[in-house]
């Protein structure tokens, strides 16, 4: 009989201890990594002058976790808000290399989820389970669906910028006479 702490060989089935959990709050606590991007001053993107720091903030981002430890990973990114006096412009630390605007997930998670649905042809729910099982990041399947549709991969559209917008004439069914 094998001991409980013995190493498992290749091909041996090990059940996922989180299988059957229904509520996201019951998942294991994430490992938090702090990334410091705070600065005293920064260049204004509008005029190029040095702007002073107003206040600091911490933004939490869900990232691809560690399946061996069985825990998700969360990035606590410390940044700052700045104010440029010459042009009266407010701006924050640039985090565009890590995540999209107003997103709670890193770009790595978004790209992985889109790839699972588009290239591997997984349904949204299966992609959600795959992300948790293999990468220890919980993403609701509806969020994955929004990402895929925004990328335009499943709908055949090129993206949000190319959506047709009806003008006032089309809304009122006016014909243009020229």
pLDDT over 80 (residue 174): no
Under a CB-based contact definition with an 8 Å cutoff, are residues 43 and 51 in contact?
Answer: yes
pLDDT tens digits, 70-116: 788 999 999 999 999 999 999 999 999 999 888 999 999 999 999 99
- pLDDT of 43 reads 92
- Once rounded to an integer, what is the mean pLDDT over residues 145-150? 92
- Mention every residue, 6+ apart, whose C-beta is less than 8 A from residue 84: 44, 46, 47, 49, 51, 90, 91
Assign 66 a pLDDT band (cuts: 50, 70, 90): confident
Which one is predicted more confidently, 150 or 27?
Answer: 150
pLDDT at 155 over 90: no
Query: Between 161 and 91, where is the model more confident?
Result: 91
CA proximity to 120, closest of 154, 157, 152: 154
The pLDDT value given to residue 160 = 47
Q: How many CA atoms lie within 13 A of 170 on its CB side?
A: 4
Report the range of poorest mean pLDDT among 13-22, 39-48, 63-72, 94-103: 13-22
- With beta carbons less than 8 A apart as the criterion, state whether 135 and 64 touch: yes
Q: Give the bridge partners for 103, in sequence order.
A: none
Torsion-angle region of 136 (φ positive above 0: left; ψ -120 to 50: alpha; else: beta) = left
Percentage with pLDDT > 70 across the chain:
76
- Residue 1: is its pLDDT beyond 50? no
60 forms beta bridges with 76
Distance CA 116, CA 110 (A): 10
């Amino acid at each position: 009989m094998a001991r409980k702490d013995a190493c498992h060989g290749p091909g041996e089935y090990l059940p996922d201890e989180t299988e059957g959990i229904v509520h996201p709050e019951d998942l294991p606590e994430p490992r938090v990594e702090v990334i410091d991007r705070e600065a005293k001053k920064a260049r204004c993107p509008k005029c190029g002058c040095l702007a002073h720091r107003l206040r600091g903030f911490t933004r939490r981002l869900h990232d691809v976790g560690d399946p061996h430890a069985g825990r998700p990973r969360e990035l606590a990114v410390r940044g700052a808000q700045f104010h440029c006096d010459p042009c009266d412009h407010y701006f924050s630390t640039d985090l565009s290399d890590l995540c999209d605007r107003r997103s709670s997930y890193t770009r790595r998670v978004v790209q992985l989820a889109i790839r699972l649905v588009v290239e591997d042809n997984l349904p949204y729910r299966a992609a959600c389970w795959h992300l948790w099982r293999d990468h220890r990041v919980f993403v609701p399947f509806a969020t994955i669906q929004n990402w895929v549709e925004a990328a335009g991969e499943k709908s055949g559209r090129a993206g949000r910028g190319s959506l047709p917008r009806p003008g006032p004439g089309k809304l009122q069914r006016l014909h243009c006479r020229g």
